[in-house]
Amino acid sequence: MSLKGKNAVVTGGGSGIGRAICLQLARDGAAIAVWDLNQAGAEETAAMIAKEGGRAIACAVDCASTQAIASAAIRTRSEFGPITVLVNNAGISNTCVFTEMTEEVWDRMIRINLKGPFLCTQAIIPDMLAAGWGRIVNISSSSTQTGATKMSHYVASKGGVIGFTKALAMEYAAHGITVNNIPPGFVDTPMLRASPVNVDAYAAGMPMKRPGKPEDIAAGCSYLCSEAANYVTGHTLSVNGGRYLS
């Protein structure tokens, strides 16, 4: 999938799924702006891309802060030019019994997982409109397809991302901009390993008998960002090993 000459922003690109997406899109030919709250992680991803001969910069960004996003966008444009590929991957996850959930816990989840993609997209989509071409991929969650106990705030935030995707797809389809989402399912990342879930035991009960890999999500993202997917918009590409079918 060739993205030669395209400039991409990947939020949450400093580790896990985001890092895999950065590496894949760089291999596809795009210049990558790695946006992450973790400066060290973003720099490590950028260094990995440079080692493979790609172009990348690392930006320390709170992707739910209008000011931080604006500053990162200015730097990205000054280094590479207009941004025409955006992957909204940055997000958080945790568990909490619904009756014990505070308003602050709920609001933080919505701010980062749903408001963040809104702010990043609003800051970058003018470049796509000017170019008459753009690719937006939002990383949602397979939990929106199945539900998840003790994660009502997380599922609500990611369900909002899917609705957001469909609405933008309708609004910008005539402008050469596609908007799609990928709901990962049980992907082996540092975030998952840090959770209370027994990863290997849970994976044994899944159709493919293994957790997903970040590279699986990156492959789907590569397709949705490519010219091969130019007639695909508003779509939910379920890269989850059939998890939500079981």
* Catalytic site includes residue 223: no
Helix or strand (DSSP H, E) at 117: helix 116-131
Pick the closest to residue 126 from 69, 181, 164, 166 (CA basis): 69
Per-residue pLDDT of the chain (246 residues; tens, 9 = 90+): 689 999 999 999 999 999 999 999 999 999 999 999 999 999 999 999 999 999 999 999 999 999 999 999 999 999 999 999 999 999 999 999 999 999 999 999 999 999 999 999 999 999 999 999 999 999 999 888 888 899 999 999 999 999 999 999 999 999 999 999 999 988 888 777 777 778 888 788 888 888 889 999 999 999 999 999 999 999 999 998 887 665
CA dihedral 161, 167, 170, 175 (to 10 degrees): -70
Residue boundaries of the structural domains of the chain: 7-236
- The residue written with tokens 């739910």 in the block is 64
Distances (CA, A) of 174 to 7, 129, 134, 229, 237: 21, 10, 11, 15, 21
Q: Which of these is catalytic: 154, 172, 223, 231?
A: 154
For domain 7-236, give the CATH superfamily: NAD(P)-binding Rossmann-like Domain (3.40.50.720)
CA dihedral 19, 186, 183, 128 (to 10 degrees): 0
pTM: 0.96
